[in-house]
Structure 1
Amino acid sequence: MAEHTGTRPRPAGAPGRGRAARLRQWLGRALSGSGQERHAVVFVGKSTLAATAAWAVAYHVLQAESAAFAPFSAVLMLQVTVYQSVWHSLRYVAAVAAGVAVQLVFGFLFGTGLATFALVAATAATIGRWRRLGSEGAQVGTAAYFAFSTFVSAASGLERLSQLGEIIELVALGCGIGVLVNVLVLPPLRYRSAEYGVHVLARSLCDLMSDMYPALRQGQLDEDSAARWRDRAARLGPLVSQAQSSVDLARESGVYNPRRVLRRQVGRRAFSGYQAVIDALERVTYQVGSMTRSLTQCPRDGDGPEHGEFFRRYGDLLAALTHFTRLLGDLDEDRLDEQIPRLCSAAEEAGEQCRGLAGYAQDSLPLADPARPYGILLAEATRLMEEAQYTCDVLQRTVASP
């Protein structure tokens, strides 16, 4: 079969059509999947709703002069779980109240001079380092600075008290609305579980590899495509962190979630298995990132027909791994018994493709040549196949354990 290994000429207008096609693909993934694109759409929607509701109450109902504090606080409370939203909101309100209190005390005692501001700044920074405030400690200083500005501009002592109290009121209002939106609109408590961490990461990997393997099979590897794959692989990093934290968040949500008494107590076994699966997916993510970087360094003219055949076989391997990650993206702890055989069959198929690729490359290509990335790509393919098999082994042990 003839393979085209060079870069195809681009007709006029092709870049615009390419961008439109990528936009359609992005929107399709956002509407139909659960990957990073869907996360972005959901976060934008929830942020818009929370901010708009907070502004409407603060400005139109309460007619507050500093109404912007409410939507600002509401958006900050859209944390990854309802549990975290509640605790972040409590710490945030406490931090703002502390900053306002510092300004209130020093302002009435020492006036509004520059020395007073320096004293307020130093005290707020010191309080902000209190570990109980966590990441919200920085808000002590921010609140103190805004409070100082409000204090200076107010005409009387009574007006100063009123406006500083309004800041705390608006922050509490915004936090409450943000938590309420997080609870009622696509609540992340339902999302953030060990199972969901596997789903998001596996589906994002599936989306990336499903775009890669047709191009490799058809000999359409070019610099622009390889660069886009590399950038998409790099953006998977935050999903890895989210997936790793999802196990702890799932346990955390189970402990503080009153609905836990209504659910079957299968979480302990699943968590132990899913932690190992997420660890394996983390390694897969880094391997895919390394693979895409190697593809950007691949010569376009290649080594004759062997070059094209190598990438055709590489595309076959990625197609098998795409099928595996697609199945992993639908993993359900209540149906592991029926899903694991299909996963292991897909992993075995990837193993066969990898062995065929390795045999061909060893016979036909200069794997030891550092100027050509064939050896590196083959090593990365082998590791990907091994991680797929390891994931199946982990899930089998999870189901078999008492």
Structure 2
Amino acid sequence: MRQWWGRAFGSAGHERHTALLIAKSTLAATVSWVISYNLLQARSPAFAPFSAVLIMQVTIYQSLVQSLRYVGAVAAGVAVQAALGFLAGPDVLTFALVAAIALTIGRWPALGAQGSQVATAAFFAFSTYSTATTDTEKITQLGQIVLLVLIGCGVGFLVNLTVFPPMRYRSAEYGIRTLAHALSDLVSDVYPALRDGDLDRERTEQWRARAAQTEGLITQARSGLQTAKESLYYNPRRLLRRGRVPTAFDGYASVMEALERTLHQMASLTRSLDRWRADREDENGADHRPFLACYARFLESVAALAGVLEELTEESLADQARQLREWADEAQRRREQVADEAERQNLPLTDPARPYGVLVIEATRLMEEFQHTCDVIQDHAGD
């Protein structure tokens, strides 16, 4: 616990974000309780703090969106109960009808994750309606439920907006670094084996499995980019940031897409290697180890390019753009050497049973993606 709090105070990481979320939720719940219990003396004051905590989302934008959906869901549930309650009375058949209609409305896609709150609100409203003695009291109690939800959502949104509003634009950089690390780690395992001609079946199967597992990382990276974009919507801290931070997301999205395609290309490459176990000589007795060694040098430069992207930060874009350009030029020279070596040895590039054609094609595609990445980062570094 001491170490956890040390990390929370020491750096702006997951621990600090968690601690801030707990503190802000506590503040919002307490303020909501004071308003509903002490000021309004509501019959069910817990609705307000519950609502305040429920909509305390990661970003201001999501807090607003989920608040609107939650209020809509609760209002729908209360309205269903009010309509059927006054028409049929608080009996078992009425409850069944309320449940069926509320659960049906909860399936409406526009309510999103808050759809289940329609039935929840309807059930609480039915309980409140059943215990009320007069029509005026019934209407008052049902309206109070909606009022308490509005108070809780309003307090929660204001606390999230004014107290350390979440600014997660760094999650876009983190997503790129995660994908770049996965690429660098995989390529760094492949090129030494190609250089040494050590492509046993167990190793190539492991490469193929690791390449396939990157789909989960790609999904997480996309989610991080979306969170980064949303963190700027309606966020007052945006005014304290330099104007180019929001526009940088366009560049980050392009870099992320290029890395996704690069990982897919590595997956194709590893599948080809897994289907073919390299020997020192082919059926005609030609030694292709020089070609594999040449390709290993190319992949080594690819690993270096990915290594630069692993350290991507907004503040260092100019220096990193220069490093990327230098390594891209080196990788391009090595790619040309790969093509020259394949031509010199007259390799069977069109033979689908051998990996040489795939290796040459993927080398070209990898360079296209990295050249595009270099151009994008260079453009944003110069803004």
TM over 0.5: yes
Residue 211 of structure 1 corresponds to 185
Query: 2:250 matched to which residue of 1?
Result: 275
Could you tell me which of 70, 75, 78 is aligned with 2:57? 78
Find out whether 1:108 has 2:86 as its counterpart. yes
Distance 1:261 1:364, change over 3 A: same
- CA deviation after TM superposition for structure 1 residue 295, in Å: 1.3
- Aligned residue pairs total 348
Measure how far apart 1:282 and its partner are.
Answer: 0.6
Is the Cα–Cα contact under 8 Å of residues 254 and 373 in structure 2 kept in the other structure? no
**Paired position in structure 1 for 2:169:** 192
User: Is 1:389 aligned to 2:363, yes or no?
Assistant: no
Task: Provide the residue aligned with 1:20 in structure 2.
Answer: none
C-alpha distance in structure 2 between counterparts of 1:135 and 1:175, whole Å: 20
Gaps of 5+ in 1: 1-30, 32-37
- Hey, what does 2:219 align to over in structure 1? 238
Give 1:229 shift.
1.5
Structure 1 vs Structure 2: percent identity of aligned residues?
A: 27
CA distance in 2, matches of 1:230, 1:75: 38
Contact 1:77/1:85 (<8 A) preserved: yes
Compute the TM-score of the two structures, normalised by the length of structure 1. 0.64
Equivalent-residue separation in structure 2 for 1:257 and 1:308 (angstroms):
57
Q: Does 1:289 find its partner at 2:270? A: no
Q: Name the structure 2 match of 1:96.
A: 74
- Matched with 2:325 is 344
In the alignment, what sits opposite 2:284? Answer: none
Shift of 1:115: 6.2
**Letter of the 1:92 counterpart:** Y
Larger Rg, first or second structure (1 or 2)? 2
Match of 1:139 among 110, 114, 117: 114
CA distance in 2, matches of 1:247, 1:128: 29
C-alpha distance in 2 between matches for 1:68 and 1:378: 64
Shift in CA distance, 177/314, structure 1 to aligned 2, threshold 3 Å: farther
Higher relative contact order (CA 8 A, sep 6+): 1
Q: CA RMSD in A?
A: 4.9
Is this contact kept in 1: 2:291–2:342, CA < 8 A?
Answer: yes
Q: Secondary structure at the match of 1:236?
A: helix
User: Do the aligned partners of residues 241 and 116 (structure 1) sit closer, same or farther apart at CA in structure 2, a change above 3 Å counting?
Assistant: same
Query: Structure 1's 182 and 385: CA in aligned 2 closer, same or farther, altered over 3 A?
Result: farther
Q: How far apart are the structure 1 equivalents of 2:143 and 2:292?
A: 66
Query: What does 1:238-257 align with in structure 2 at a 5 Å threshold?
Result: 238-242=219-223, 245=226, 249=230, 252-253=232-233, 256-257=234-235
